[in-house]
Chains A and B, each alone.
Chain A
């Protein structure tokens, strides 16, 4: 059963990898799904500790803006740009986290929101640095000095994003099974016991928060390069709320959930843009209602439940 599930994983990743060949016009959208999935994964990581962030767009935007700057500095080397952008967002998360991990529940949610809105305002107002509401161009034209055409770059970015997503998902999975990752759920359940076991709950949360910031930043950098442009909207609270919705749609039970949630969200938004010009929120509202009402543990919970029933049937 386990082997079957692992094979299915390979099939899903492999299937996703060949999609751009089958439908080249979808490459951009498929890349964006991976970028959003990384941000949703970042949010669902904090959800493991019962903490909802309504401000992760801060790190997403940080990654994208960092990519815009690094694109110029590093001669537009995509891989280095992605790595450094993610690290910049993680560094920002470390600084913000020192304050934020002191808070729980609604205060955690609101403080994240507040910081992201401060960042949004700065991005708008510091015109000389950030380009104000026009934003910045994110240029990345090749690898190690070789210039690539736009299609070549789009393909390259897609496969880099896929590799990054697989690596990130694998790492988060491993981390969540280690004591420091397991501790997240333990903190949600009984923080006092965690402290009385001699473990600093704040340190556990800070490590998770930095990892989370890095993941969201990586997503932001990928999206920034894919779009070729970044604007302050990327830090706006509706972007953060989108990540939360994706994490909830996906179910957060496992790393797969975040990407499934992001894929569903992006499909809905593309669909809505084409056929329901002004009713995107309506559609989203209905979908959220259906998930919360009928599958409260999200897409992952639904999928996992199927496997459990099959495993039970086998016995």
Chain B
């Protein structure tokens, strides 16, 4: 197998008495969709927050493409090629979906600091258009983010991350807060977009249907620890997992 893209080694983090990460060891390989499952408070978001530099582990190491990134600031980690989408979409709510994307494009590319290059310049607009199409957001492009349905916000949150042309994308519950009817549509759109952009992805997900359908591998979190990880069939049908986690 190829070298891991992301590797966690013995990561520990506690908030006061709560152990949110406990000796977490994990390898994520290029091209795979890894799904993290587990009950509320299991430490799933905490793990993603550690990987993106939002939280600093008290012990252990995170390696990205073989280089340690433990404790780097979110901005440095973003620049290194890890992007994220949030459990609660973090969007520029008063601005149009299109402007949100143009800004993300500008943030990533060249020309951000050139005052004479407006945000609606084709230099930013052309990649933004492509992302609108890729993430199925064309219909709502002109609307302010605050006005569109939650499903579109979730997609936009991911699209902003994709504008950075990341190597690895961490998605914290990309379908939470969306009706179960819309979930599969959103996941299909996202999965296609990620495959097309050749982005490796780590998802946090509560819906086992979704996990079964889209996961290459699954890891089960409980009390900050990884109980078991492996292919979805093996993990989801494990009697222990069925009893305690699902």
* Interface set of A (CB-CB < 8 Å, partner B): 171, 174-175, 177-183, 185-186, 189-190, 192-200, 207
Contact = CB atoms under 8 A, between A and B. Distances in A.
Interface string B197-226: 000000000000000000000000000000
B115 A196 contact: no
Nearest to A178: B115
B246 interface: no
Contacts of A185: 92, 94-95
A198 B115 contact: no
Interface bracket on B: 35 or more
A44 B83 CA distance: 33
A177 B99 CA distance: 11
A85 B92 CA distance: 37
Given A174-B115, A177-B118, A198 B78 contact: yes
Contact of B107 (A174, A178, A197): A197
Contacts of B78: 195-198
B103 A179 contact: yes
B164 A198 contact: yes
Taking chain B's interface residues, is the majority helix, strand, or loop, or is none over half, making it mixed?
loop
B112 interface: yes
B164 A197 contact: yes
Nearest to B114: A178
18 contacts: A174-B115, A177-B119, A178-B115, A178-B116, A178-B119, A179-B112, A179-B117, A181-B115, A183-B103, A185-B92, A186-B95, A190-B91, A193-B90, A196-B83, A197-B103, A198-B78, A198-B107, A198-B164
Interface in B62-80: 73-75, 78-79
A200 B75 contact: yes
Interface in B100-147: 103-104, 106-108, 111-120, 124
Nearest to A179: B106
Contacts of B187: none
A192 B90 contact: yes
B108 A198 contact: yes
A179 B92 contact: no
Taking chain A's interface residues, is the majority helix, strand, or loop, or is none over half, making it mixed?
helix
Interface of B: 52, 73-75, 78-79, 83-84, 90-95, 99, 103-104, 106-108, 111-120, 124, 160-161, 163-164
Given A195-B75, A198-B108, 5 more contacts: A178-B119, A182-B106, A190-B92, A192-B90, A193-B160
Contact of B115 (A171, A186, A192, A193): A171
Contacts of A180: 112-113, 115
Nearest to A183: B103
A249 to B, nearest CB: 23
Contacts, number: 83
Nearest to A211: B115
B81 to A, nearest CB: 10
A190 B117 CA distance: 23
A179 B116 contact: no
B93 A182 contact: no
A90 to B, nearest CB: 15
Given A190-B92, A192-B90, A193-B92, A199 B75 contact: yes
A189 B94 contact: yes
Nearest to A181: B115
A183 B91 CA distance: 12
Nearest to B90: A193
A185 B74 CA distance: 20
A183 B164 CA distance: 16
A199 B105 CA distance: 11
A194 B106 CA distance: 11
A182 B124 CA distance: 13
Contacts of B116: 174, 178
A198 B79 contact: yes
A277 B91 CA distance: 51
A196 B116 CA distance: 25
Contacts of B84: 196
Contacts of B95: 185-186, 189
Nearest to B76: A198
Contacts of A195: 73-75, 78
Nearest to A203: B113
Contacts of B118: 174, 177-178
A307 B63 CA distance: 56
Contacts of B163: 197
Contacts of B107: 179, 194, 197-199
A306 to B, nearest CB: 22
Contacts of A207: 113
Contacts of B160: 193, 197
A191 to B, nearest CB: 9
A197 B106 CA distance: 9
